[in-house]
Amino acid sequence: MKARPITTVKTVVAGIEEAGPGIKLFTLVDPDRWELPPFKPGAHIDLHLPNGLVRTYSLCNEPADNARYVIAVKRESEGRGGSRVLHDEITIDDVIGVSLPRGGLEPGADIARHVFVAGGIGVTPFLSMARHLVQTGDGDFVLHLIVREEVPLAAHLAPLIDAGRVVVHRTSRTGRPELASLVGEAGAQTLVACCGPESMIDDFERVTAAWPAANVHVERFVAPPPVIDPEAKPFTLSLARTGIEIQVRAGQTMLVALQEGGVDIATSCCGGICGACKVGWIEGKPVHRDRILSPYERERYLMVCVAGSDADRLVLDL
């Protein structure tokens, strides 16, 4: 049974560029060079790799550059395997299916100041955002790039560094800067965002804990450990479009229960940080454990990979 199609776009690899130690830039285009589906600055896509792996990467080109998707991939020898496949096996003209872009930052007229904090390769979504802001003039911004020594994507960041829009902090020389001093004071017209190692994100979230949620954005590399609820109880998923009911065992995820019930669900991180498995909910009392949905979105959606239920029955828009 298929509750909904898992949409992928066929792309081919049009370019592979060395972009720093252990980093490659991959340019993906439509086979006939048509425009690709639009995206927000710093959005991400899932790559459906030839060996069956699905991995999520941020786009680092700006939305106006709509004939291609550009991703930066750092080879992680101890990672989950996606970066090794891309670095070691993917070549020009290879075909890769990608998801429709999702997420990203959306500059608005009410945001006049943007402060981005990036750790190493975490700069990729903010390179897209910075390029967009330069092109459109939709607000001032500064990007604080925290690295040990080497600057990733140096050739692409150079114009922004020269213009004073990117400030490089080398921890090998000065240690890591205080994040509170980088983000400054909270303000209704200020948006702050962070992408980098978990320790940096933890500090960033502490520093911005009192900020309005809508003014704080976090991008994660790795999903946090799953939440184990020792008091979890079984519940029923009711699929509104088909009328099918699926039982979720105590401690089981909705994702696994749906898959066991024959429902195709797009997945990637399986930890509530990528947005691939977002599903609408209609009735019930979901327990949200993701790190990506806004309070407004949680009124309508949940992530089946990590969400739970505080009621005996939860109705999904499937």
What's phi and psi for 230, nearest 5 deg?
A: -65, -15
Level-2 CATH architecture, domain 113-220: 3-Layer(aba) Sandwich (3.40)
Stretch among 42-51, 137-146, 220-229 having the lowest mean pLDDT: 220-229
Region 216-231: mean pLDDT is 79
CB 8 within 8 A of CB 48: yes
- The CATH code of the domain at 235-316 is 3.10.20.30
Gap between the Cα atoms of 55 and 73, Å rounded: 11
| Secondary structure (DSSP) of 179-193 | HHHHH-S--TTEEEE
Region 136-151: mean pLDDT is 92
Q: Is the pLDDT of residue 317 over 90?
A: yes
What's phi and psi for 57, nearest 5 deg?
A: -140, 145
Gap between the Cα atoms of 246 and 263, Å rounded: 10
Most confidently predicted of 35-44, 133-142, 268-277: 35-44
Q: How far is CA 1 from CA 69, 132, 261, in A?
A: 32, 41, 8
Region 61-73: mean pLDDT is 95
Q: What is the pLDDT of residue 4?
A: 47
The sheet carrying 216-220 orders its strands as 166-170, 140-147, 113-119, 190-196, 216-220
Higher pLDDT, 79 or 12: 12
pLDDT band at 6 (very low <50, low <70, confident <90, very high): low
Q: Is the pLDDT of residue 228 over 70?
A: yes
Q: Are strands 313-316 and 235-239 parallel, antiparallel or unpaired?
A: parallel
Q: What is the pLDDT of residue 3?
A: 45
CB 271 within 8 A of CB 224: yes
Amino acid of residue 106: E
Higher pLDDT, 270 or 32: 32
Domain boundaries, the chain: 8-99, 113-220, 235-316
pLDDT band at 144 (very low <50, low <70, confident <90, very high): very high
User: In percent, how much of the chain has pLDDT > 70?
Assistant: 97
pLDDT band at 230 (very low <50, low <70, confident <90, very high): confident
**DSSP 8-state secondary structure symbol assigned to residue 59:** B
Q: Is the pLDDT of residue 35 over 60?
A: yes
- The CATH code of the domain at 8-99 is 2.40.30.10
Q: Is the pLDDT of residue 283 over 70?
A: yes
Q: Is the pLDDT of residue 306 over 50?
A: yes
Q: What is the pLDDT of residue 291?
A: 81
pLDDT band at 176 (very low <50, low <70, confident <90, very high): confident
Q: Please report the beta strands in the chain, taking only residues with DSSP state E, as ranges in sequence order.
A: 8-18, 23-29, 44-48, 54-58, 69-74, 95-99, 113-119, 140-147, 166-170, 190-196, 216-220, 235-239, 245-248, 278-283, 286-287, 301-303, 308-309, 313-316
Higher pLDDT, 265 or 36: 36
pLDDT band at 109 (very low <50, low <70, confident <90, very high): low
What's phi and psi for 244, nearest 5 deg?
A: -75, 145
Average pLDDT taken over every residue of the chain: 90
Six-digit token string for 19:
């972009």
User: In percent, how much of the chain has pLDDT > 90?
Assistant: 69
